[in-house]
């Protein structure tokens, strides 16, 4: 009886995580649908955002989120869509 209980607990935890992620994706999509400059990335969404720029379409993704004493740390990954490459660029992260 212990194993089924553990499996149900794991499934409940997975469902809470997926529900939270789905809500974050919805918020991220709403923010980006009203944005005319830049892109919004919601960490819990764990989903890339495509940004139309003068350089072409860039894909942005936050990864490796970790809490720190002064806040949080994350990696911002920029990549070109398709076969293109990302040229040297200058960006501002707020």
Q: Please give the pLDDT value at position 53.
A: 85
Quickly tell me which residue has 């960490």 as its tokens.
Answer: 43
- The mean pLDDT of the chain is 89
Report residue 61: phi and psi, to 5°.
Answer: -150, 135
Q: Quote the percentage of the chain above a pLDDT of 70.
A: 100
The mean-pLDDT minimum among 36-40, 67-71, 86-90 falls in: 86-90
Q: Domain range for residue 32?
A: 2-80
Distances (CA, A) of 88 to 55, 57, 80: 10, 14, 12
Q: Is 55:89 a contact under the CB 8 Å cutoff?
A: yes
Q: How many domains are there within the chain? A: 1
Q: Residue 29 falls within a domain, yes or no?
A: yes
Look up the CATH number of the domain holding residue 25.
Answer: 2.60.40.1620
- Over the stretch 13-56, which tens digit does the pLDDT of each residue have? 999 999 999 999 999 999 999 988 889 999 899 999 999 888 78
Alpha helices in the chain (DSSP H): 2-33
Predicted TM-score (pTM) of this structure: 0.77
């Amino acid at each position: 009886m212990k194993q089924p209980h553990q499996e149900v607990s794991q499934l409940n935890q997975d469902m809470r995580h997926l529900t939270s992620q789905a809500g974050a994706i919805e918020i991220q999509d709403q923010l980006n649908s009203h944005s005319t400059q830049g892109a919004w990335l919601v960490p819990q969404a764990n989903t890339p955002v495509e940004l139309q720029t003068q350089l072409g379409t860039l894909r942005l993704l936050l990864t490796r989120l970790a809490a720190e004493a002064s806040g949080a740390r994350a990696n911002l990954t920029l990549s070109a869509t398709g076969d293109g490459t990302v040229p040297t660029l200058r960006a501002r992260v707020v």
